[in-house]
Amino acid sequence: MRQLLYTITAIFFLASMAYADNGIISVKSSHAVKATADRLENTLKQKGMTVFIRIDHAAGAHKVGKQLRPTELVVFGNPKVGTPLMLCSQSTAIDLPQKALIWEDQEVTVWFSYNDPNYLVERHGITGCTEVLKKIEKALSNFAKAATMP
């Protein structure tokens, strides 16, 4: 009985920390935008991933006289994972490399958002590739946890 109570509590806790909407999974971060992006970049590099670019959208907005809450995009990938997915459906190349959006909302809550691999299945009509998709789903979830948890 105690184990069941712990399990239910954990499910409610995790549900409040992450949500999915329109094919985007968002995880609440315990850190500021820059710190979350830094943690993500470090984790990616440790895992042998390539970080192609990190875009500070707020800095870009500032250059044109606009103000945007902290918003950073990290573009990353690994051809060992992306290539098999593109072989299943070449149109997935438009969604690769992977992207993580780290952003601050109006309540000053920081979020780590990324594309749900299951959304890519629907969007690109992917059949098969179950193992690759599971691997991607697990990796993205782990990257989000590493970047956002205390």
How many alpha carbons lie under 13 Å from residue 45 in its C-beta half-sphere? Answer: 10
Q: Is pLDDT at 12 greater than 80 in this prediction?
A: no
Asked whether residue 33 carries a pLDDT value surpassing 90, the answer given is yes
Percent of all residues in the chain with a pLDDT value above 70, rounded to a whole number:
87
Per the CB < 8 A criterion, the answer to whether 99 and 120 are in contact is: no
Q: Count CB neighbours of 72 within 10 A.
A: 22
User: From CA 148, how far away is CA 150, in angstroms rounded?
Assistant: 7
Task: Express each pLDDT in 83-98 by its tens digit.
Answer: 999 999 999 999 999 9
CATH superfamily of 2-148: TT1751-like domain (3.30.310.70)
Determine the pLDDT at residue 128: 87
Domain boundaries, the chain: 2-148
The more confidently predicted of residues 1 and 60 is: 60
